[in-house]
Amino acid sequence: MASKSDTAVVTRFAPSPTGFLHLGGARTALFNWLYARHYGGKALLRIEDTDKKRSTQEAIDAILGGLDWLGLDYDEAPTFQSKQAQRHTEVAHKLLAAGHAYKCFATQEELEAMRAEQREQKLPLRYDGRWRDRDPSEAPEGASFTVRLKTPIAGDVTIPDAVQGDVSVKNEELDDYIILRADGTPTYMLAVVVDDHDMGVTHVIRGDDHLNNAFRQLPIYSAMDDIEGGWPLPTYAHIPLIHGADGAKLSKRHGAVGVEAYRDELGILPEAMFNYLLRLGWASGDREEITRAEAIELFGLKGVGKSPSRFDLKKLENLNGHYIREADDALLAGLAAPLIGQAANTALLEKAMPVLKPRAKNLNELAEGAGFLFAKQPIAMTEKAAKALDADGRARLTILSERFRAEKDWTFEALEATTKSTAEAHELGFGKLAQPLRAALTGTMNSPGIFDVLVLLGREEALARIDAQAAPTA
Ligand code: GLU
């Protein structure tokens, strides 16, 4: 069979819309997208909505929203597998007419009896090919039938997988599976192959839970190539699944598995998720921080590891901290404002970003860290802040209040110089002044540098907060 590797690259992401976009799916989407972008090919999206009972519009929207958030764009409008049913059926009929598929008239009861027998004899549960060589005229008049693919019986089949290497199975392990159901509808296994062919897909990059399907899909390509030519096999790349920290396949019990939870609840930036998913199963040396542009330049299937990768929230958060520090201040202010609520003032937030963002690993921390800017009197105090405002602390605030009030320039440098000279004049360590000041201004003992805080709050608000805590002068 011809190989498609010499033609332009076409990849596809083919999610089944039965739930949100989970981390594994997002990583598959990313790898397909990067591969296409790296080779200047096409990235396509196919929604595999053939299971009408489990597919929902909500899931389609969540998947599209997640891909969009990650910045994965597609070169054509998404294809919906359910809309191609007629074409799938047409291919099934071609296979049937050419003798690569056959009608199976076995009834449900018969098949159940067959399986019961296999179970009893501890044999693998497989269709035994009972209609493979029988003539349909032997079936009762008007009996319903399924169409099964005539898969090779002897020898074995090898897939040269771009990630797993050569993987083989014995053909006797693959049974003649159904491609058209009794009601005439095509099955998933047929639909995938027909769609991949019709979309001109050259590289099938997907989770290795689909490796078994690849062996079953292969005979459809060979049969159709026999019948009409032009059905070369795609290059397969089955990527190992993502595991949780405990080594078990990633699932809900490991925490959030939907990409939207990382966006909406955990305050992760798309750049961080993009970078993290990229590193989850792919490496270029030991580099951790890789931008989108670098990823496009560097990505290839050679860098994809063979063993499952482990999801590590800490690593994701560290990367997120990196991207928060790199992010544009106005953009961050826009993202943090809704988390702060009505009191938030985006202009002030943006101004504060340079001192806020180095302290946050996610948007929630960023919003929390910005809270003091918009606090209203009386400022709520943490326990530690309240302690710093004991009698001594309050007395020091009184001194500072007077000195600050006389300040001509409300700037970082001037306020710093004043505070230092006040500390010296009163023979106090700098911390003895800074601690009650921080408490009074922010209600916490954990904030950006105190002079940054003074400047951001502005003279009036800062003095009001200091005076609210300062001991009344005797
Ligand atoms: N629709 C399948 C899934 O969501 C993917 C099929 C494929 O990539 O071939 O698992």
Q: What is the pLDDT of residue 157?
A: 93
- Answer whether 205 contacts ligand 1 (Cβ < 6 A): no
Largest Cα separation within the chain, whole Å, is 112
Q: What is the pLDDT of residue 473?
A: 65
**Cα 31 to averaged position of ligand 1 atoms, centre (Å):** 14
Nearest atom of ligand 1 to the alpha carbon of 13: 8
CB 403 near ligand 1, within 6 Å:
no
| Ligand 1 touching residue 201 (CB < 6 A) | no
Q: For a substitution probing ligand 1, which of 16, 204, 235 has the most ligand atoms within 8 Å of its CB?
A: 16
CB atoms within 10 A of CB 7: 12
Q: What are phi and psi of 64, to 5 degrees?
A: -60, -40
Catalytic residue chosen out of the listed positions 252, 302, 314, 376? 252
327: burial class by Cβ within 10 Å (0-12, 13-18, 19+)?
Answer: middle
Residue 14 alpha carbon to ligand 1 centre in Å: 5
pLDDT computed for residue 471 by the predictor = 87
Report which protein residue has its CA nearest ligand 1's atom 7.
Answer: 14
Residue 309's alpha-carbon distances to 247, 277, 296, 335, in angstroms, are 9, 10, 21, 30
Q: Can 408 be counted among the known catalytic residues?
A: no
17 lines ligand 1 (CB under 6 A): no
Of all atoms in ligand 1, which is nearest to the CA of residue 206? 8
- Ligand 1 centroid, distance to 37 Cα (angstroms): 21
Sign of the four-CA dihedral 92, 154, 207, 278: negative
- For residue 2, the model assigns a pLDDT of 42
8 A C-beta contact, residue 297 and residue 37: no
159 forms beta bridges with: 167
- Residue in 281, 283, 299 with CA at minimum distance from that of residue 240: 281
24 lines ligand 1 (CB under 6 A): no
Alpha-carbon distances, residue 245 vs 9, 27, 262, 310, 329 (angstroms)? 35, 17, 17, 6, 34
Q: Are 321 and 360 in contact (CB under 8 A)?
A: yes
Task: Give yes or no for residue 210 CB within 6 A of ligand 1.
Answer: yes
Dump the DSSP string for 23-37: HHHHHHHHHHHHHHH
- The predicted structure's pLDDT at residue 444: 97
pLDDT for the residue numbered 6: 47
Residues of the chain with pLDDT under 50: 1-6
> Is the CB of 240 within 6 Å of ligand 1?
no
Q: How far is the CA of 205 from the centre of ligand 1 (A)?
A: 10
Work out which ligand 1 atom sits closest to the CA atom of 48.
Answer: 1
* 15 Cβ below 6 A of ligand 1: yes
